[in-house]
Chains A and B, each alone.
Chain A
Amino acid sequence: MARYGPVRHVVPHPLTLTRARDTFEPPIFCPRTTFSVGPLQPGSRMRHGLRTLALILCLAAAPAAALAQLTVQGTVTDESARGLSGAQLVIEGTGIGTVTNDSGAYRLLVPSPRSGMVLIVRRIGYKPVRQLLAQLSGIVTQDFRLVRDVLRLSEVVVTATRAESERSTLGATVATVDGDQIAQAGTAQIDAALAGKVSGALVQQASGTPGGGTSVRIRGLSTISRSAEPLYIVDGVIIDNSSTQLIDLGGYSSNRLADLDPNDIDHIEIVKGAAAAALYGSRANDGVVQIFTKRGQAGALRSTYRVAYESDDVERRVEVNRSPVNAAGAAVSRYDYQSNIFRTAPRVSTSLSFSGGDQRTSFFLSGALEDQDGIIRSTNYRRQNIRLNLDRSLTDRLKIATSTSYIHSKADLTPNGGLTSSFGALTDFLFTPNSYRLFADSISGDFPTAFIFANPLDIIANWRAPQEIDRFIGGLQVTALPIDRLTLSYRLGYDTYTENAQQYVPRNSSAPSLATGLAISATDRARLMNSDLDASYVMNPTPRLRLTHGLGMNYQEQKFDVVTSQARDLALFTGTLQGSQQSATEFFDKRRTLGFYGQEQVGIDERLFLTAALRSDASSAFGIDERKQYYPKLGAALNLSQYDFWERWRDLASTLRLRAGYGYSGGQPAGSFDRLSNYVFEPSGTRSGIVNSTQQGNQKLKPESARELELGTDIEIARGRVGAEITYFNKHVKDLILPRTITPSTGFLSELANVGELTNHGIELLVRAVTMQRPSYTLNTTVTYTTNHPKVTKLSDGGAFFIPESFNIVRVDTGLAPGHFFGTTYVRDSSGQILDAAGKSIRDATGKIVGIPKIGPRMVIGDPNPKGYWSLINDLGVGSHWRLHFQFDGVYGNDVFNFDRRLLESPAFGTGKAYEAELRGDVPKGYFQARRSIFQEYIEDGSFVKLRELSATYSLPAGFAGRFGAHGAQISLIGRNLHTWTHYSGWDPETNVGAQRTLVRGFAFATVPIPRSVALSVTTNF
């Protein structure tokens, strides 16, 4: 058991913002004497011949006069004496360090040893070890045996405090997901890969369309009117993750996180609530996710080549009507057009990366090609990524790091209805009786007109919806240590993209209302910029006390400009907006936010840690009267097991930590100009005039405000083999921005005001365990479990309301979960029997349905918010070559509004198997016609368990790989979403036609199911 002695002081790692493990360039705190202008500067010394030495060492901070030299060497192993590669060895307080090789061996040259030097050994997943260097010259052999750290309490995280902090010092939880967990998840999308990896984060993939969107809800919903997605940061660059629906193609709108390549990810930090995220001020209400990409390491050039071949198909299909007659009793042929809509689709994913460098400069260069066909015919997605991450030490105390990436993606999609459109492959599969013959005429090529909207096969063959993105994300970071213990860090982040979405319905299409064609082209030009300055200063006024002062500022600007052009009455055989009727609209949004913060972290005896911070935010989106907003936070962590009195319980629990966090954060108004009173276009005849908008501006508009308390404990039992992180959170959001009635006789109708309130509270549990450990195999198990109880507690004077574009079924009301379903019901007697209009049961004594149900009043009929969700992940390592991995994800207590089933069994269409009952006469005529008006019928339990991931990886023996000139190679067989256990009757209980919308959740309407996929991947390291 490694325990920290009282002499230890944790030095924030100043020259990088990635965690310590990501670099072996160590902290640099040169004694002040060496850092003066003139010939004593290290750089000049190097010119005099020490350059070769510096290839192994990081920069030397020793006095120039030092002559003695010490070499420390040995191996770093785990508890079963297996060598650990990639462990970092650092001489504390100097820049001297190295990493272990593949067999765990290391050799560290200390050019000017002094007494009192401490060697620290760190490796991810293991507790750090500190060793005082007793001998000051010659060669010392020092082996280390690291003890695993299942809770990763000694892991360094940076996002919550904007400075490096060990997890054990934080009062609020910060979750970390490793890059290989993302890369091995078998999906091209980072956020989809996060599903089940983190407690407290509900990850829902809205559509199985390639490049389709995924929503991430951290600790429930914190808003009604804004986007509920967390703030995403990539290497310090605030990036856009909006899901702008340029054209409604049916819950397809992808979120812009889809642009990142999972293979580039080093790790991801997830800061869940206000208690931890207060330093992000008015943008932190939905949590903060920081993605760190891989960076180069000094040493020989390394390259990794990965290629994956994947096959996707639809896991579940709906059963279709096979009745040989129609409602009129006439003989008909029936088709199952699902086979003409769905297909088995290939995906090829290739990535190549190079990394390397010397002790001054390192780089990571990667490129990736993603080529994926969708399971809906004629859909595909292609993405190309290039990334270059550069690190350069200009001097010992000045470092520049850049991250740049360019992304191009292009998707060809097929419309699938949506909340505002009735055209689509699956949509019109539902809206067309399957007794219609829909195939193209073999001679003319014309598709027959379908029932009411369009012929789904025509849509697949001839309608086009290409989407294209060009995106650049770049970050520059300068870190300086002007004096000892003071770290200054400046970051400039830039994210810009052009997204173009188009839709072409050709002239002579099978859709009666679009017979002359429709072309839409919408372009969103986005630009985000952030400019951050962080300063931290570490003090040790007494050996037992450590103070870290933090100060910082953060400036953000974001701009969006959407231009949508439309043409109707198209010329034949054209592919651009060539039509006689043309129109265009534009929407522009721009805002700036300026924030400052101060933070104080106090460590006492390395046992008790206190954090207090205050952030102030001013944004152009806030009303003039509410320009400045303040977000305080407090955190406390008590490592009880560090106290001596704990010895008697150490066998029971080797680690026990108690923590508490309390803080505030904000959510900015959705529209940058919502605070303004505007004058809008009002035509009179052919002239254009203006009048006041009936929505009055509100200069008191301020961000939504979340107050969160989280309490938790981290405990390690079974001699460190099992660790549990248990957290209770209670989040209260007030000042929710909602429309409020303005006295209409003033000439206005409404304003946006801070009127609503809602709460979320729940439990998060994370258990990591080394379930079995034998010499030949190890089984690691991770369990996450989250519950949440969301409730709206206050609304504006108007009371309950329906969410626009939700078919008037998704509703918000006080005392209920946000976005519950509200609709028509069955009328039942006291025993639960469904009644007809005469008040009689619709079933006879034998249980056969003989009556027609009565349509009852509208009531609350369902809730799409899950009561809880969990995951079970097992990793089995067999020998040194085999790794078996599986992950189950479960969501329970959520309802899905199965609009698909309503259409399938509606007599007007009747494509579903259920309708056979009426055609057979098992139910009275008119039964389904009546039932289709009872929305309660179509609320289904959407609980499910999915076998999310199942993979087997074989690492080729080093000698074998060496024959190809490779350091190593792995072959993996990866399955994703292989099976779903659910009572839900539709295609997929997970998808949502509302895509990433805040409140239209669990709404199934012709959404493309998430495919079942199997991939074979080969990774080679050179």
Chain B
Amino acid sequence: MPTHISVRGAARAIVAAALVMSAGCDLNIANPNAATELGVLGSAAGIRAIGIGLQGRLGNMLEEGIYVPALLSGELGNTNATQSTTREFQHFPQTTANSLIEETNVDVLDLWSKNYQIVKSANDIIGNIDRVTVPGTRAGLLALAKLSKAIAFGTLIEAYEKIPIAITGAKPPFVDRAAALTEALSLLASAKTDATGTPLSTDFTGSVLAPGFDLLNTIRAMQARYSLAAGSYADALAFANEVPPGVTSVIPFASGDRNPFTNLFFGSSFFGALSTFRSNAEAGDTRVAKFTTSATPVGFGGATLNGLNIYRAESDPIPLFTQDEMTLIRAEALARLDRLAEAIIQINIVRNANGLPSKTALQLATKPEVLDEIFRQRTYSLFISGLHLSDLRRFGLLALAKVAYLPYPFAERATNPNTPANPPQVP
């Protein structure tokens, strides 16, 4: 029998062993499934990766950013196949008291939250940019972040009457349309300074910025777009003129990051174009076939619809702006500045590019006639680009829209006491 074992020694060993096991107990275990806030925001690689993720979020946002205004403004209609989440939007053709959109509607929240997720990622970059030491990468990331934030505010303010623009605190205050557009334009001006002040690094342009995404010209285009929305016509004209002809800028998609409209339009077949798009078109307009087909899917509540013809492939990119938009911004700015003859030249550039003959100064003799034609060209050139609701607002045609403003999401109202009362929905 072992006689050399000392019980007290063993007892001490037991206690010591237990203490050692627990002393090595680190209660801060890293999560290998996901990057942590500290790790991401504390490294240049993390900030750079957010730059890529931010563009992914932009692409995601365009889903509701385009189809919600398109539904509200009567470009798109729901088919009978529509999911329950968008059911309230289906009622738009009959605007009655009981068809009001509720705060709890999923799309009301999605459009709102996806834009603020862009703002969050942009702020992550702006607030932690000091980690990025390569000047050309730093400048590019800053410009991208500010541009994205401006797009988020610009998109939001067309659908909601007031929006928060400073989201550093937990209960952000709300500002009106003018302040939101001012903020968007000042972000864009700052972004332009970043993008032009330092030559962008090839690391940024080659590995962060998505292929097809023209950063500087998108900044210029958005300056033109939001200047027009803000009523700064001379600025809008100048900015639109900065965008060289032929330039495009897109958000690309791939098999792992699919164009959302491919499924919405062709997989689930949730949407169709309101048939007025085709029936009101001028003969020979190539945009009719570009955007729609002669198919007639059954619309919800008996609405007459046509099939859609864009974004058939999941890798189809979504444009951030088009040359037609720039031309029509020039036309509209000129017209509103009473330079009608120059405006008609711009109108005809668009008409000719889309298979239509030029209009003469005789045909567009008055300012209202010119503006009318510009609205008409915008309707066809910028179909399903998310801008039609904004156009109705600017051209005083809001009565044609189903809803003027969306209510604020319930989740915002429930948690943010600054949320204003919902504006009247019926235009």
Cβ of B257: which chain A residues have Cβ within 8 Å of it? 683-686
* Interface assignment of B97: CB less than 8 Å from any CB of chain A: no
Q: Which residue of chain A is the closest to B168 with respect to CB atoms? A: A746
Cβ of B98: which chain A residues have Cβ within 8 Å of it? none
* Interface assignment of B133: CB less than 8 Å from any CB of chain A: no
Cβ of B1: which chain A residues have Cβ within 8 Å of it? 43-44, 46-47, 360, 395
A482 to B18 CA separation, bound complex (whole angstroms): 16
Cβ of A693: which chain B residues have Cβ within 8 Å of it? 34
* Interface assignment of B280: CB less than 8 Å from any CB of chain A: no
User: Given A679-B40, A689-B55, does the pair A743, B11 have CB atoms closer than 8 Å?
Assistant: no
Whether the pair B37, A697 counts as a contact (CB closer than 8 A) is: yes
Q: A679 touches which one: B11, B32, B35, B113 (CB < 8 A)?
A: B35
Cβ of A245: which chain B residues have Cβ within 8 Å of it? none
Whether the pair A684, B113 counts as a contact (CB closer than 8 A) is: no
Whether the pair A743, B22 counts as a contact (CB closer than 8 A) is: no
Cβ of A620: which chain B residues have Cβ within 8 Å of it? 26-29
Whether the pair A43, B25 counts as a contact (CB closer than 8 A) is: no
Cβ of A797: which chain B residues have Cβ within 8 Å of it? 414-415
* Interface assignment of A807: CB less than 8 Å from any CB of chain B: no
User: Given A683-B257, A691-B121, A746-B167, does the pair A627, B3 have CB atoms closer than 8 Å?
Assistant: no
* Interface assignment of A398: CB less than 8 Å from any CB of chain B: yes
* Interface assignment of B303: CB less than 8 Å from any CB of chain A: no
* Interface assignment of B51: CB less than 8 Å from any CB of chain A: yes
Whether the pair B56, A683 counts as a contact (CB closer than 8 A) is: yes
A280 to B245 CA separation, bound complex (whole angstroms): 73
| Nearest Cβ on chain B to A869's Cβ, whole angstroms | 38
| Nearest Cβ on chain B to A25's Cβ, whole angstroms | 16
What 1/0 mask marks residues of chain A from 458 to 492 whose CB sits below 8 Å from any chain B CB?
A: 00000000000000000000101111000010100
* Interface assignment of A791: CB less than 8 Å from any CB of chain B: no
Q: Which residue of chain B is the closest to A478 with respect to CB atoms? A: B14
| Nearest Cβ on chain B to A982's Cβ, whole angstroms | 36
A684 to B411 CA separation, bound complex (whole angstroms): 28
Whether the pair B54, A398 counts as a contact (CB closer than 8 A) is: no
B231-260: which have CB < 8 Å to A? 251-254, 256-257
A41 to B2 CA separation, bound complex (whole angstroms): 10
* Interface assignment of B50: CB less than 8 Å from any CB of chain A: yes
Q: Which residue of chain A is the closest to B45 with respect to CB atoms? A: A690
Whether the pair B11, A555 counts as a contact (CB closer than 8 A) is: no
What 1/0 mask marks residues of chain A from 559 to 593 whose CB sits below 8 Å from any chain B CB?
A: 00000000000000000000000000011101110
User: Given A35-B7, A397-B7, A691-B56, does the pair A744, B2 have CB atoms closer than 8 Å?
Assistant: no
Partner-binding segment picked from A670-678, A772-780, A871-879, A1012-1020: A670-678
Cβ of B35: which chain A residues have Cβ within 8 Å of it? 678-680, 690
Whether the pair B170, A555 counts as a contact (CB closer than 8 A) is: no
A481 to B55 CA separation, bound complex (whole angstroms): 67
B31-89: which have CB < 8 Å to A? 31-37, 39-40, 46, 49-59
Whether the pair B119, A691 counts as a contact (CB closer than 8 A) is: no
* Interface assignment of A805: CB less than 8 Å from any CB of chain B: no
Cβ of B14: which chain A residues have Cβ within 8 Å of it? 478, 480, 488, 490, 533
Q: B256 touches which one: A587, A683, A749 (CB < 8 A)?
A: A683
* Interface assignment of B120: CB less than 8 Å from any CB of chain A: yes
Whether the pair B116, A747 counts as a contact (CB closer than 8 A) is: yes
| Nearest Cβ on chain B to A1008's Cβ, whole angstroms | 33
Cβ of B414: which chain A residues have Cβ within 8 Å of it? 741, 797
Q: B29 touches which one: A360, A586, A591, A680 (CB < 8 A)?
A: A591
A67 to B167 CA separation, bound complex (whole angstroms): 89
Q: Which residue of chain A is the closest to B417 with respect to CB atoms? A: A743
A672 to B30 CA separation, bound complex (whole angstroms): 10
* Interface assignment of A394: CB less than 8 Å from any CB of chain B: yes
Whether the pair A746, B120 counts as a contact (CB closer than 8 A) is: yes
Which of under 10, 10 to 19, 20 to 34, or 35 or more describes the interface residues of B? 35 or more
User: Given A592-B26, A741-B414, does the pair A587, B33 have CB atoms closer than 8 Å?
Assistant: yes
A673-730: which have CB < 8 Å to B? 673, 676-680, 682-694, 697
What 1/0 mask marks residues of chain B from 166 to 201 whose CB sits below 8 Å from any chain A CB?
A: 010011100000000000000000000000000000
* Interface assignment of A129: CB less than 8 Å from any CB of chain B: no
Whether the pair B56, A689 counts as a contact (CB closer than 8 A) is: yes
Q: Which residue of chain A is the closest to B119 with respect to CB atoms? A: A747
Q: B36 touches which one: A43, A678, A691 (CB < 8 A)?
A: A678
Which of under 10, 10 to 19, 20 to 34, or 35 or more describes the interface residues of A? 35 or more
Q: Which residue of chain A is the closest to B32 with respect to CB atoms? A: A588
A682 to B34 CA separation, bound complex (whole angstroms): 12
Cβ of A480: which chain B residues have Cβ within 8 Å of it? 7, 10-11, 14
* Interface assignment of A646: CB less than 8 Å from any CB of chain B: no
Whether the pair A689, B52 counts as a contact (CB closer than 8 A) is: yes
Whether the pair B37, A679 counts as a contact (CB closer than 8 A) is: yes
* Interface assignment of B117: CB less than 8 Å from any CB of chain A: yes
* Interface assignment of A745: CB less than 8 Å from any CB of chain B: yes
A615 to B210 CA separation, bound complex (whole angstroms): 55
A691 to B123 CA separation, bound complex (whole angstroms): 11
Whether the pair A684, B53 counts as a contact (CB closer than 8 A) is: yes
Whether the pair A747, B120 counts as a contact (CB closer than 8 A) is: yes
Whether the pair A691, B21 counts as a contact (CB closer than 8 A) is: no
What 1/0 mask marks residues of chain A from 516 to 554 whose CB sits below 8 Å from any chain B CB?
A: 000000000000000111000000000000000000010
User: Given A398-B7, A590-B29, does the pair A488, B15 have CB atoms closer than 8 Å?
Assistant: yes
Whether the pair B116, A744 counts as a contact (CB closer than 8 A) is: yes
Whether the pair A749, B411 counts as a contact (CB closer than 8 A) is: yes
A44 to B412 CA separation, bound complex (whole angstroms): 80
* Interface assignment of A618: CB less than 8 Å from any CB of chain B: yes
Cβ of A687: which chain B residues have Cβ within 8 Å of it? 52, 207, 210
* Interface assignment of A742: CB less than 8 Å from any CB of chain B: yes
Cβ of A397: which chain B residues have Cβ within 8 Å of it? 7
User: Given A743-B416, A747-B116, A747-B117, does the pair A688, B22 have CB atoms closer than 8 Å?
Assistant: no
* Interface assignment of A619: CB less than 8 Å from any CB of chain B: yes
Whether the pair A746, B22 counts as a contact (CB closer than 8 A) is: no
Whether the pair A748, B120 counts as a contact (CB closer than 8 A) is: yes
* Interface assignment of B112: CB less than 8 Å from any CB of chain A: yes
Whether the pair B2, A394 counts as a contact (CB closer than 8 A) is: yes
* Interface assignment of A301: CB less than 8 Å from any CB of chain B: no
Interface centre among A482, A586, A590 (most CB of B within 10 A): A482
| Nearest Cβ on chain B to A748's Cβ, whole angstroms | 7
Q: Which residue of chain A is the closest to B415 with respect to CB atoms? A: A743
User: Given A676-B31, A691-B54, does the pair A743, B411 have CB atoms closer than 8 Å?
Assistant: yes
Interface centre among B3, B15, B32, B112 (most CB of A within 10 A): B3
A477-512: which have CB < 8 Å to B? 478, 480-483, 488, 490
| Nearest Cβ on chain B to A309's Cβ, whole angstroms | 47
Cβ of B56: which chain A residues have Cβ within 8 Å of it? 682-684, 689, 691
Interface centre among B1, B5, B36, B116 (most CB of A within 10 A): B1
| Nearest Cβ on chain A to B184's Cβ, whole angstroms | 16
| Nearest Cβ on chain B to A272's Cβ, whole angstroms | 28
A925 to B210 CA separation, bound complex (whole angstroms): 59
| Nearest Cβ on chain A to B258's Cβ, whole angstroms | 9
A490 to B113 CA separation, bound complex (whole angstroms): 53
Whether the pair A533, B211 counts as a contact (CB closer than 8 A) is: no
A590-639: which have CB < 8 Å to B? 590-592, 594, 618-620, 627
Q: A490 touches which one: B18, B25, B207, B253 (CB < 8 A)?
A: B18
* Interface assignment of B409: CB less than 8 Å from any CB of chain A: yes
Whether the pair B52, A488 counts as a contact (CB closer than 8 A) is: no
| Nearest Cβ on chain B to A568's Cβ, whole angstroms | 14
* Interface assignment of A66: CB less than 8 Å from any CB of chain B: no
A482 to B33 CA separation, bound complex (whole angstroms): 47
- A673-B29, A689-B55 given. 19 additional CB < 8 A pairs? A41-B3, A43-B2, A394-B5, A478-B10, A482-B10, A592-B27, A594-B27, A618-B27, A620-B26, A677-B37, A685-B254, A686-B252, A689-B52, A692-B37, A692-B121, A744-B116, A746-B116, A747-B119, A749-B411
* Those 9 A-B pairs whose CB atoms lie nearest each other, nearest first: A747-B120, A689-B52, A689-B53, A678-B34, A533-B18, A682-B53, A684-B56, A691-B53, A482-B11
Could you list 10 A-B pairs, sorted by A, with CB under 8 Å? A490-B14, A673-B34, A676-B36, A679-B46, A680-B35, A685-B251, A743-B172, A744-B109, A746-B170, A747-B120
